[in-house]
Structure formats: structure tokens, C-alpha cells
Amino acid sequence: MLTTLFWIVLGFAVYTALEARGLLPSWIRVWGPLVTFETTNGLGALDRLAAPRHRRRWRVWTNGGVAVTLALLVITFGLVLFAAFVALTQGGASEVNQPRNALAIPGVNDFLPLAATPEILAGLFVGLFVHEFGHGVLSRVEGISVESAGLIVLAVVPFGAFVGIDEDDEREAETSSRNRIYAAGIANNLALAAVAVGCLVLLVSTSIAAVPGVAVGGVYPGTPADEAGLERGDVITAVDGERIESDDDHREALEAANDSVELGVEGARDGTKTVTIERSVVVTSALAGSGDGGGDGEATALEPGQTITAVDGEAVATEREFATALENATVVDLETDDGSGPRTVVAGVAVSDVDSDGALAAAGVLDPGDEPDSLVITVLDGERIVDDGDLFDALEDAEPGETVTLEAAVDGEVETYAVTLGERDGDAALGVALAPGTSGITVTDLGVDAHPHEQHLAVLSGDVGAGDGLDASVLAGALALFALPFAGMIDGVSSANFGGFVGSVADFYTVTGSLAALEGVVFVVATLLFWAWWLNLLLGVFNCIPCYPLDGAKILRTTVEDVGSRIGLESPARVASAAMVGASGLVGVAIALVLASPFLVG
């Protein structure tokens, strides 16, 4: 982030100093932090492209663009208002709607990685160019003068573009002509996005493969993997000499391995190596109050980075041993390596939230208005529940409406309840939100955060629907592909974002076939196509929002004015302007609320 901001600040300082000394040419102007580059060169090309023999094709193309824009105008207007409602009423504050993510600046925006800066800026520049190019050509097709064209940058980052259309000519043009001009940029962006995504899917599906093994997306501090020197970009290829191809192979191999295990690793920096890991059970996350004391009552809650050495006096060194020890008792003492004394834990699934209209609340587990310090489910219909995975498995075998026995500890007091299961998406449900792991504690005996490189490759190849709960349709594929830059921030979608075949992520893939000798070039081209598709789709859809000065607001105004004239309104222009201002105001307030929600709802 600091690198990107440094260049922005430096660029702004240079522009300002040059302007103050009168050293900037007339076609460069500084407007606060923004700089415009305006030119009249190349405008003759617009006249050639808008020649009479081409006009019919341009009008057919942009008439379709008008229809698409009007549909997207309604959809985006509803989505913006709905987003504001969710952000304020349902705890919608998240990493996704942080204010910094409203800026298309690599390294500042969480979804635009610094390593992909050249590809992102290229995609953004191309998107802005084809958008304004569409406005310019259609202006000439409709006989409206284009006086200049230019680019707007935030010091060094493309921020916008423009074509200077003669306003008098524009006002005198027919409604259909103005709508075609406004929709031309949107149609061009959407068309370029479609071409780019088609080329991307073709290139990835035929020439890029995931490296076999477990891709190391990160390493938890203080874990065995961290102490052994594993790092992001490494790929685990073998366990105790046994070749592994996937995460499933890795888990199975570790299940069968001893406390000490040898890993074959393709190092991101130091090539092939063998690493010996002495496994231990390390806490990776814990709810506040997890293991909130025992013995003399002076022990503190568990914290990430602590190592659990024993359960009820029985030594544990692996996740398997830890889970087995917890199955033997509901209330256990956990000992750690810091010598601070045992932590007494009710071993089960910690409930983080209870739906007041859900099955658990209806069974009387909690008194109305009661907010216990802890609520842990330990048994469901005779099955021992140790972690959230056990509970999900048990609910899969049950039916909505079925009455089951449930044991739960409310503030440490274990009781048995009869619960009539509710229904959610056709499955049995308790009406609760669960903390991951056991009693809100998640552990690892290795410490590797696996990168979902195979999942990302499947989406990029157009292969969605198999194993990830999505229908194998074009729409599902497009939505999954569009979500990749922020997929890691959406619960249940992915464990990591994807920003291109850049940095350490490129180590998780290889180029196959006839293009294998051009691996670096293929990765650059694929990343360019990814961001060209993503940014052009975003630019096209964003410009449909009915908020001035976006194209959607202009089309709303001209359309309302035209309809008003047809039905005989006394002042259709005034009604149209009021509609545009009203819609712009609502959208502006909604967007402000979404961006402010992290501060309003925490």
C-alpha cells in the first residue's frame, strides 16, 4: 500500500511543481489530485469510422446497447438500495465494503494486488478508452461535434476518460440519438469483457495446469511449519516419501503418519528439499473466553499461537490424537506449553448466535432475552459432537420436523433438551450460527494454510458446478469468475482471493502443451485477460447506475423526457430532470451508507 501511495503522492507533487512554474504544456491540467491530458489529435479517425456506410451498423449495435443499459439500470438501482439495507440492518459491514476498496488503486484496494499493477492499469486504460471511444464514434454518427478527448489520472493511476461533445448539438439531438451515444460506451465495455473472458477461458483450459500437491498460501506463526521454514509459494509434494497430488491425499497421509513427519517440498526460493516436521497441536483461532480457566481459576483463555500439549493428562501431538481425546469426555482440561495451568473446556460446538425464531430457541434452551456467556452443543440424538463438522454431519442425516435429543452446556451447566428441527434450504437446521472448531478453538498440527489453486483454476477454465454447489451454467461460471478477486472474503466460497498469475501464486501453476516454453508470457497474457474482462464488466455495469454523471442517469433523464412527451406531460424536461436528480440522490445516499457501514455497525 505504501508503495502505491508513494508514487501517487510523488506524481501529484511533480505535477503541482511543474504547473506552478508554468512548465506544463497546455494540454495537461492539474485539478487538485487529478490530472487531465486533453488532445484534439486523432479525432479525424472518428469521422472515418462514422462514415455513412458504417452508420447503420453502429446504430443497430447501440440500439441493443440501449436495451441492455435500461435493463441493467433497473437492476443496479435495486442492488444499490438493497446493499445499503443489508449493510445497515443485517450487519453487512465487512472487508468487501471498506472505504479503501472504492478506489481502483492496486495495493490500496484489497482486491487489486500490487503484484498485478501493470496488468490492472492496462485493463483499466483499455476499458476507459473503449468506453469513451464509443461515445465519440456515436456522436459523429449522430452528427454531433466532438471537440476533444482526454484521460484523467490520479497522479499515475488511470481514473477516468472523456470526450468533449458539443453541448448545443447534443441538446438539439433526438432522444434516440442521445440514448445511443450514452449507451455506446457501456455496450463496448460489455462486448470487450465478453471477448476477453472467452479468450481467458480458452487459454487457461488448454494451456495452464495446477501443480500437483498442496500449495502453501500461508503459514501460521509459531506452528511446526513456521519453525521448519515453510513459506508462501512452497508446494508440498510428498509425505514420508509418499507422493501426494491433492489436499485430500495430504490429509490422508498425515492421518497415517507419526508425530515426526518428513515432507517433500518444491521451494519457492530454494528448489526441491525435504523438511522434517515435529508435529504439535497449535491453536490457530479461539473465541474470547475459550478455555476460560480451571484448577486454581487463574489461567487465562486460550490464544492463537499456544500449543496444547495434553488433554486430561494425556499427551497429544496431532489433530487426530486431540480429536480422539476429546471424544472420551464432555468436560476436559487442556494443558499448554506455557506452564500457566490447565484450561477447563466443555468440548463441543460453540454457538455464536441463536435465531430467536429457530428450533433451538423454541426448545427452551435459552430463556427469552437471555444472552449466556457460552453455549456449547455436545451431543445430538446420541451422537457425540466434538466440532462443527460433526454437527453438520449429524444434521445431514436428520430430517426437518424430526424431534431429536440434544445435550448442551449453557454457561458450563449441561442439560438435555428435546428439539424439533427446523428447515433451511431443504435441510434440517437448529437455527444457530456456529463458531468453527471445538468450543470455538481451531487447531493445526502442521500450520499450513493451503491455497485453493485447483479451485481457482477450475473457475478460470469454466469448469464450475462440480463439487462446489454451483449449477454448471454460463451465469454461474460468470458469477464465480467475477467473484475471484474477493472470493476469500465471502464465507463458503473460497479461502483466498485470486488476482492473477502473479507473485508467489504463479508458483502454483505450470504451462503445458505447445506454449510450455513461453510460461512467463502465458501468465502475463492470462492475467491481462483476467483484469481486462473484470474491469470492463465492472465499468460497463457501473455506468448503468442511475447516478449523475454516469451514463445510466443520462439515459434515465432522456427516457423519462421522451415518455413524458408522448403521454402529454406539461413539462416533460422538468419531470425528467427531477427523476434524474431523485435517483442520483438515492443512489448517492445508499453508496455512502454502504461505505460508512463499517463505522456505523462495527
From 192, 190, 54, 165, select the one nearest 554 (Cα to Cα).
165
* Fold matches, 221-279 and 282-439: yes
- Judge whether residue 215 has pLDDT over 70: yes
Q: Per-residue pLDDT for 466 more than 50?
A: no
Q: Which long-range contacts (CB under 8 A, 24 or more apart) does 524-529 make?
A: 524/119, 525/203, 526/200, 526/203, 526/204, 526/208, 526/460, 526/500, 526/501, 527/116, 527/119, 527/500, 527/501, 527/502, 528/119, 528/122, 528/123, 529/196, 529/197, 529/199, 529/200, 529/203
Is the domain defined by 221-279 classed in CATH 3.80.10.10? no
Please tell me the distance from the alpha carbon of residue 270 to that of residue 255, in angstroms, as a whole number: 28
For residue 37, name the pLDDT band (cuts at 50, 70, 90): confident
CA 228 to chain centre: 31
Q: What is the mean pLDDT of residues 493-510?
A: 90
Tell me, what's the pLDDT at 300?
A: 47
Span 168-180, average pLDDT: 89
Question: Per residue in 389-432, pLDDT tens?
Answer: 899 988 888 889 999 999 988 887 888 889 999 988 788 889 88
Q: Which of 272-281, 289-298, 472-481 has the lowest mean pLDDT?
A: 289-298
SS3 of 70-92: HHHHHHHHHHHHHHHHHHHHCCC
Q: What is residue 295's predicted lDDT score, i.e. its pLDDT?
A: 38
3-state secondary structure (DSSP) of residue 446: coil
Fold designation for 282-439: Pdz3 Domain (2.30.42)
Tens digit of each residue's pLDDT (9 = 90 or more) over 15-31: 778 877 888 888 888 87
Q: Which pLDDT belongs to residue 102?
A: 63
Q: Quick check: 471 pLDDT over 50?
A: no
Q: Average pLDDT in the 434-447 region?
A: 90
What are the structural domain ranges in the chain? 2-202+529-600, 221-279, 282-439
Q: What is the pLDDT of residue 367?
A: 64
At residue 93, the pLDDT reads: 52
Three-state SS at 143: coil
**Matching residue, cell 480451571:** 294
Residue 516: how many CB atoms within 10 A of its CB?
11
Lowest mean pLDDT among 88-92, 268-272, 332-336, 573-577: 88-92
CA-CA-CA-CA dihedral for 402, 406, 411, 412, to nearest 10: -170
Average pLDDT over residues 329-356: 85
Cell of 467: 463439487
Q: What pLDDT does residue 271 have?
A: 83
